[in-house]
Chains A and B, each alone.
Chain A
């Protein structure tokens, strides 16, 4: 079973490495969106410091959502997905591995680049750790919930916009806890509570999301 996970994750990473622009686009989108807010709102440092956690988290949400469409689409188009569904490895494990690969390609880069955006927004440096930690705990949840939506909208016309409508309301708790933890730390309070809840959401979705993704995939592929 772990062999299957290793194999699928390795394959997805290798495929992404051969088409690097896909990852770069989502990451660039994140940076561009985050850079638009000061232009629209004004570059008042206090204001920017106040909105920074929210803006970074919303940008992370949107960027993750954009990259969801290609989670299953390419495999669906060339028939690989059907082979994976029919294969010996349990489908729940297969989709968990694919989601893990998606997070490594779209979530982890966000965690790494977020401090740079935080620098743009003049966020105090002690908060970088909390911001990175909240993204580290939260972005896998985004990938997992998003994968349910991606599996449900597989091969549907207008799937991209529909995916946003399905997935974004479900992202609300992660957004609140993620941005909340950074704001909490900015106010000089202990962000532990929010981070623990983010961790709980991560554990909860890691336990149940693969089932939902697998069920959704089976429905989409029949």
Chain B
């Protein structure tokens, strides 16, 4: 485990997580959530949990992003709060 790489991914993870709940545009939130999942996938593969990383990449970063985009498309793009 390379600690510089680990630190960089963890920082990006936290940036994505904070951005995803503070951004007003819900489409941007969906994409940020996908980026968050992808960072999580990298972390899993650094920790040698390849099966979990694969699931995270396919479910978290792939299909759930599509579901969120579809839901935003059918509801509203801006949050009320």
A and B part of one assembly: no
